[in-house]
Amino acid sequence: MTELIAVVTITLLAVISPGPDFAMVSRNSLLLSRRAGVLTACGIGAGVLIHVSYTLIGVGVLIQQSLWLFTLLKAVGAAYLIYLGISMLRHAGTSVAASSSATPTAVSDFAALKTGFLTNVLNPKTTIFIVSLFMQVVNPQTPLGVQIGYGLFIALAHILWFSAVALLFSAPGINARLLRLRKGIDRAFGGLLIAFGALLAMAGIK
């Protein structure tokens, strides 16, 4: 029971902490659509399942102990976040006209899922969180079925939390007010993602 409480508590604290996942869900649900935001959240949950899967089969230990592999993961994650941030900054100037329309910008379901998935699966902080959780909190003698249950809970917690974020930012009252600031919002989220990427890159260099 103590192990379960620890897993639940640590997971909830990690999920609600701000980061690239929060930035992408907020941005997509606000500037695209509620559906896009929820699908981005589902993509994040799928990314979490990848982290859980390689941790359970032991690859997580290899990543944690291999300096070059973890540095490579950081570099790829940093490059992806910076790429997303630059894309937002480049399109911020052209998004004003679209924001004046009552119809949200179209985006495919796959694109929304992919954005959430890649943002999470390439985030080394999620790697550290899940590998550390299973190595330091979950007892090695805990049955595999229970450990898989923990992993499913972690993924579900991410989906539910970020879906709630998507519902909040796509609520008509909030959405209508913030859409007037669409250009600034794209710039703000773009800058945040570039900052997250730069921090990862600097951490990798150190």
For the ranges 27-41, 153-167, 172-186, the lowest mean pLDDT is seen at 172-186
Q: Is the pLDDT of residue 98 over 50?
A: no
189 or 181: which leads in pLDDT: 189
Residue 68 vs residue 94, higher pLDDT: 68
| Residue 161 predicted with pLDDT over 90 | yes
Q: Mean pLDDT lowest for which of 6-20, 21-35, 187-201? A: 187-201
- Spatial neighbors of 199 by CB under 8 A, at least 6 apart, are none
Q: How far is CA 141 from the centre of its chain?
A: 30
User: Domain boundaries in the chain?
Assistant: 26-96+105-205
**How confident is the model at residue 101, as a pLDDT?**
47
CA 108 to chain CA mean position, Å: 18
Amino acid identity at 199 = L
pLDDT, position 148: 92
Tell the residue number behind the tokens 């992919």, with chain if given. Answer: 114
Comparison of pLDDT for 158 and 172, the residue scoring more: 158
More confident residue, 34 or 196: 34
- Average pLDDT in the 2-13 region? 89
Tokens found for residue 69: 């592999």
Q: Are 46 and 184 in contact (CB under 8 A)?
A: no
Largest CA distance in the chain: 58
**Residue % of the chain over a pLDDT of 70:** 76
Q: Please return the burial class of 97, using the count of CB atoms within 10 Å of its CB with bins 0-12, 13-18 and 19+.
A: exposed
